[in-house]
């Protein structure tokens, strides 16, 4: 796919009209359309092993249960525009809430259930959350205990309603799953409440919801400053899912297997909405486990797999993998972090699935670029693809804002239907990120080819300036990943008294891999300029990661600086 560009020599990609036209449709209406067209077809499977519950819904059953919950929430007092937070791992209730809230015009606020008390305090307050659906606990965290500490005026009340001075906006609490929370209404009670409500109220509310209304608020990771709530609309998320599915040739009847968290756009948009849009089924689980995921693979024979590289590695290395029937794949979808080309090739060879690499950010609903099958394998594994239809991008100088040339590194900026409506209740942060003419600044350093193929070379804040030379960590990481003993690689900058910054590499070896830091440095020396070579190399067993599989580079930077200062890590060659 080649675009003409009248800005000769400038890295500026026109929005393509190829592919499906944008639709003015809400998520609730899309569900209704698919239920009418494919009522008896499988839509959703949720394997909730923590509660030993397996839920399967057809499109018709999914709509019926979502409507039932919508009626229950209307009767409970959830109003249009109310912000309703969901703090739970992947579960059937989560899926129902995504659709039911969309149908009644409420705003879904996604919450990572691993958040600690002070993080939850900030999010509920800053988001002015009116209702909270929560699990009792998550991976050892006592969510009920945290709520009691944050809301000291909690008391057993009728139907999960509360009054109090702490967080005055938060007036409704509902418990998902088992647990002792007398101050909250059980989810099943709220669901059953919908049985006694005439559906005309739900129909009237759904008819008032507009495509440009905010459908959800996704909080960014907050690696720089406090988290910000990106407001995403029905129009931006539904169309982004449709265009992603179309570029990936998702088909009616496809089955996607994925453990991506629903509280992230990778789960609730790229999985739930994309499979709804194409008329396929999503098979998901409450938490990733390689053995369980292989069990689901055997049972449902998926044609699509959406997983971050770490998940893929753990499945490939699982002792039962050779005995599994994994030659069912047509498509392997991955992204969200640096993806080793060798891993993509291995997944393709062992499963038969063609690779599809995606690149996005929460503020863009989320997918910006995606690979295409018309490209050769090398292009598909070495780039983030080309922009989706109706998406405009350009590369600018981070300091001056001037548009860079093709092949020159600069900040990636995006404009189009996919960009967020803004950060909730943060007009200044919104103005810093989105220009008046609609360009959204990503903070990513990228290189754009004239063919539209994009390569992310780092974050502006991750770029290393060594002796006045700009060093992009991804270049060093890709070099290290070419070594047969290396499974994962991450490079960060550390303070240096002479050069300002130096290159520090973390590597994880393949099972049975054996290589010294000096040998790795020699490997890099033969393949890149001296100023790019890592001065420090640490061999580790794992990398710190966010819940959605992204490497926490800020944690690596802090750890690297401390390791050098304490003398635990010394230069490979002094």
Question: What pLDDT, on the 0 to 100 scale, is given for residue 5?
Answer: 46
Pick from 153, 152, 157, 134: nearest CA to 144: 134
Instruction: Quickly tell me which residue has 């297997």 as its tokens.
Output: 257
CB burial of 6-31 (b: ≥16 within 10 Å; e: otherwise) equals: eeeebbbbbbbeeeeebeebbbbbbb
Pick from 546, 541, 555: nearest CA to 504: 555
Q: 132 and 85 in contact (C-beta within 8 Å)?
A: yes
Question: What pLDDT, on the 0 to 100 scale, is given for residue 163?
Answer: 86
CA of residue 220 relative to chain centroid, distance: 10
Average pLDDT on 530-539 reads 92
Question: What pLDDT, on the 0 to 100 scale, is given for residue 247?
Answer: 97
Question: What pLDDT, on the 0 to 100 scale, is given for residue 336?
Answer: 63
Question: How does pLDDT run across 442-489, given as a tens digit for each residue?
Answer: 999 999 999 999 998 877 878 788 876 778 788 899 899 999 999 999
199-208 helix and 92-103 helix, angle to the nearest 10 degrees: 70
* pLDDT at position 421 over 50: yes
**Model confidence, pTM:** 0.86
**Angle value at C-alpha 426, between 420 and 430, nearest 5 degrees:** 45
Cα–Cα distance for residue pair 319/304, rounded to 1 Å? 22
Cα–Cα distance for residue pair 138/537, rounded to 1 Å? 35
Lookup: tokens for 42: 């499988």
Q: 216 and 110 in contact (C-beta within 8 Å)?
A: yes
* pLDDT at position 16 over 90: no
End-to-end C-alpha distance for the chain, whole angstroms: 49
Report the top-level CATH class of 464-566: alpha beta
Strand pairing class (137-138; 141-142): antiparallel
Question: What pLDDT, on the 0 to 100 scale, is given for residue 221?
Answer: 64
Q: 250 and 272 in contact (C-beta within 8 Å)?
A: no
Give the residues across from 355 on adjacent strands: 332
* pLDDT at position 553 over 50: yes
Cα–Cα distance for residue pair 511/172, rounded to 1 Å? 49
517-525 helix and 473-481 helix, angle to the nearest 10 degrees: 110
CA of residue 466 relative to chain centroid, distance: 32
Q: What are phi and psi of 493, to 5 degrees?
A: -95, 140
Q: Which helix (H) or strand (E) holds 117?
A: helix 117-126
Average pLDDT on 369-398 reads 94
Question: What pLDDT, on the 0 to 100 scale, is given for residue 2?
Answer: 38
Question: How does pLDDT run across 91-145, given as a tens digit for each residue?
Answer: 999 999 999 999 999 999 999 998 889 889 999 999 999 999 999 999 888 999 9
- Residue 68, number of CB atoms within 10 A of its CB: 21
Question: How does pLDDT run across 497-520, given as a tens digit for each residue?
Answer: 878 889 999 999 999 999 999 999
- 10 Å CB burial of residue 2 (0-12, 13-18, 19+) is exposed
Least confident of 307-311, 368-372, 433-437: 307-311
Quickly count helices (H) and strands (E) in the chain.
18, 29
Return the C-alpha torsion angle 81, 87, 93, 95, nearest 10: 70
Cα–Cα distance for residue pair 494/515, rounded to 1 Å? 23
Give the residues across from 44 on adjacent strands: 57, 282
């Amino acid at each position: 796919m080649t675009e003409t560009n009248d800005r000769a020599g400038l890295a500026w990609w026109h929005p393509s009209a190829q592919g499906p036209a944008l639709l003015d449709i809400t998520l609730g209406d899309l569900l209704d359309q698919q239920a009418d067209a494919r009522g008896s077809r499988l839509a959703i499977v949720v394997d909730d092993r923590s509660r030993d519950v397996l839920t399967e819904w057809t499109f018709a059953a999914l709509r019926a249960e979502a409507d039932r919950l919508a009626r229950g929430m209307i009767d409970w007092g959830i109003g249009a525009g109310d912000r309703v937070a969901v703090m739970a791992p992947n579960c059937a209730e989560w899926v129902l809430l995504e659709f039911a809230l969309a149908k009644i015009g409420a705003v879904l606020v996604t919450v990572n259930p691993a958040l600690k008390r002070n993080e939850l305090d900030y999010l509920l307050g800053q988001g002015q959350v009116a209702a909270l659906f929560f699990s009792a606990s998550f991976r050892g965290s006592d969510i009920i205990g945290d709520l009691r500490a944050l809301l000291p005026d909690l008391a057993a009340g009728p139907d999960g309603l509360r009054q109090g001075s702490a967080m005055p906006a938060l007036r409704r609490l509902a418990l998902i799953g088992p647990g002792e929370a007398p101050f909250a209404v059980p989810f099943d009670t709220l669901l059953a409440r919908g049985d006694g409500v005439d559906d005309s109220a739900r129909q009237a509310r759904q008819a008032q919801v507009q495509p440009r209304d905010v459908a959800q608020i996704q909080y960014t990771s907050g690696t720089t400053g406090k988290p910000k709530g990106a407001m995403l609309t029905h129009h931006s998320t539904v169309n982004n899912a449709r265009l992603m599915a179309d570029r990936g040739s998702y088909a009616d009847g496809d089955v996607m297997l994925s453990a991506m968290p629903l509280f992230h756009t990778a789960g609730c948009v790229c999985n739930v909405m994309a499979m709804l849009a194409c008329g396929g089924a999503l098979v998901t689980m409450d938490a990733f486990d390689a053995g369980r995921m292989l069990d689901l693979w055997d049972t449902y024979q998926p044609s699509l797999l959406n997983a971050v590289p770490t998940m893929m590695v753990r499945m490939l290395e699982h002792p039962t993998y050779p005995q599994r029937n994994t030659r069912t794949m047509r498509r392997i979808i991955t992204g969200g972090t640096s993806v080793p080309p060798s891993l993509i090739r291995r997944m393709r060879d062992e499963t038969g699935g063609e690779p599809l690499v995606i690149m996005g950010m929460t503020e863009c609903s989320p997918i910006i670029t995606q690979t295409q099958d018309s490209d050769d394998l090398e292009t598909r594994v070495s780039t983030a693809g080309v922009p989706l239809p109706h998406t405009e991008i350009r590369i600018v100088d981070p300091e001056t804002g001037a548009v860079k040339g093709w092949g020159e590194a600069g900040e990636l900026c995006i404009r189009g239907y996919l960009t967020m409506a803004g950060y909730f209740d943060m007009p200044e942060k919104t103005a810093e990120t989105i220009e008046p003419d609609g360009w959204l600044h990503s903070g990513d350093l990228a290189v754009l080819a004239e063919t539209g193929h994009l390569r992310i070379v780092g974050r502006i804040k991750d770029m290393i300036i060594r002796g006045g030379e700009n060093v992009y960590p991804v270049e060093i990481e890709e070099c290290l990943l070419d070594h047969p003993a290396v499974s994962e690689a991450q490079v960060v900058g550390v303070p240096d008294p002479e050069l300002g910054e130096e290159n520090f590499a973390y590597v994880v070896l393949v099972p049975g891999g054996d290589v010294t830091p000096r040998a790795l440095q020699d490997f890099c020396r033969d393949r890149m300029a001296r100023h790019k070579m890592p001065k420090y190399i640490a061999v580790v067993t794992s990398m710190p990661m966010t819940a959605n599989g992204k490497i926490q580079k800020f944690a690596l930077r802090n750890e690297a600086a401390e390791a050098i200062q304490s003398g635990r890590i010394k230069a490979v060659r002094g």
